[in-house]
Amino acid sequence: MKVDGKCLCGAVTYEAEVDTSKIVICHCTDCQTNSGTAYGVVAAVVDGTFKLRTGETRTFVKVADSGNRRRLEFCATCGTRIVAKPAEGEEGLISLRIGTATQRDQLAPIAQLWSRSARAWVQDLSELPSFETVPGAKS
Ligand SMILES: [Zn+2]
Ligand SMILES: [Zn+2]
């Protein structure tokens, strides 16, 4: 599926084609820290289709416990994480953070990875009180 998207400040815009059969939730602790929340949701980008349209990204190379190196690319201005790529000179998948895509409603995950480090409460979200916006907000 062709997608496009942008970062929070709007400086970075991109387009890509993603494989909708490869969209996963990742509960690894790196995704928790990097996202600042409970888990990451990423889609596999079809080889050669990710194109940065505007803006500038910065890169942080994260070395996993496995020794695997990933280049995390994020907006240089607002820090929104856009993609993770294989380290320079290495083979591998580009994964797109689906929360930045215009088409995010159509990008549903098909599996959960690293469930052993998932937050204990994360499977029970539907049991929490739920508000359309925030309690007491004027709609
Ligand atoms: Zn930005
Ligand atoms: Zn992860």
What digits encode the pLDDT tens for the residues 26-75?
999 999 999 999 999 999 999 999 999 999 999 999 998 888 899 999 99
Residue 29, both tokens: 């602790």
- pLDDT per position as a tens digit, 12-29: 999 999 999 999 999 999
Question: What one-letter code names the amino acid at 63?
Answer: V
What is the Å distance from ligand 2's center to 135 Cα?
32
What lies within 8 Å, CB to CB, of 73 at 6+ separation is 57, 58, 59, 81, 82, 83, 84, 85
Place of tokens 């409970």: 38
CATH, domain range 2-119: 2.170.150.70
Going from the Cα of 29 to the center of ligand 2, the distance in angstroms, rounded, reads 7
Task: Quote the tokens at residue 66.
Answer: 């496995």
Tell how far the Cα of 23 is from the centroid of ligand 2, in angstroms.
Answer: 12
What gap in Å lies between CA 14 and CA 100, rounded to an integer? Answer: 9
For 87-95, what is the mean pLDDT?
91
The pTM for the full model equals 0.90
Q: How far is the CA of 18 from the centre of ligand 2 (A)?
A: 18
Neighbours of ion ligand 2 (CB under 5 A): 26, 28, 31
For residue 25, how far is its CA from the centre of ligand 2 (angstroms)?
8
**E strand or H helix at 30:** helix 29-35
